[in-house]
């Protein structure tokens, strides 16, 4: 029994295309420059800064009052979004 070479080649080509797309996305993310540097806080950092627990941050995110970004399945908060949140909740 001989493997189906055409199907294998087509599959390999699709995999390579997906790898190339991921490579392009990674390069795009690495080349983004905003305000020379973006300060990111993770949940632990922001809990300490605001003196709240993780569940409170979750409520703020759920209500839409605290903007966040997800990178690799992890939640981060930009300095800009944290400053906005603090101004709105003084």
Q: How many domains does the chain divide into?
A: 2
28, 44: one domain: no
26, 55: one domain: no
pLDDT of 43-65, one tens digit each? 999 999 999 999 999 999 999 99
pTM (global) more than 0.75: no
Would you state the pLDDT for residue 2? 59
DSSP letter for each residue of the chain: ----HHHHHHHHHHHHHHHHHHHHHHHHHHH--SSS---EEEHHHHHHHHT--HHHHHHHHHHTSS--EEETTEEEEEHHHHHHHHHHT-
Domain that holds residue 12: 1-32
């Amino acid at each position: 029994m001989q493997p189906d070479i055409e199907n294998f080649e087509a599959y390999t080509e699709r995999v390579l295309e997906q790898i190339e797309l991921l490579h392009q996305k990674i390069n795009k993310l690495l080349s983004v420059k905003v305000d020379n540097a973006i300060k990111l806080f993770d949940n632990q950092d922001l809990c300490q800064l605001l003196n709240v627990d993780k569940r409170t941050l979750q409520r703020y995110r759920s209500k839409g009052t605290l903007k966040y970004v997800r990178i690799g399945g992890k939640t981060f908060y930009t300095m800009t979004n944290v400053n906005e949140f603090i101004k709105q909740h003084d």
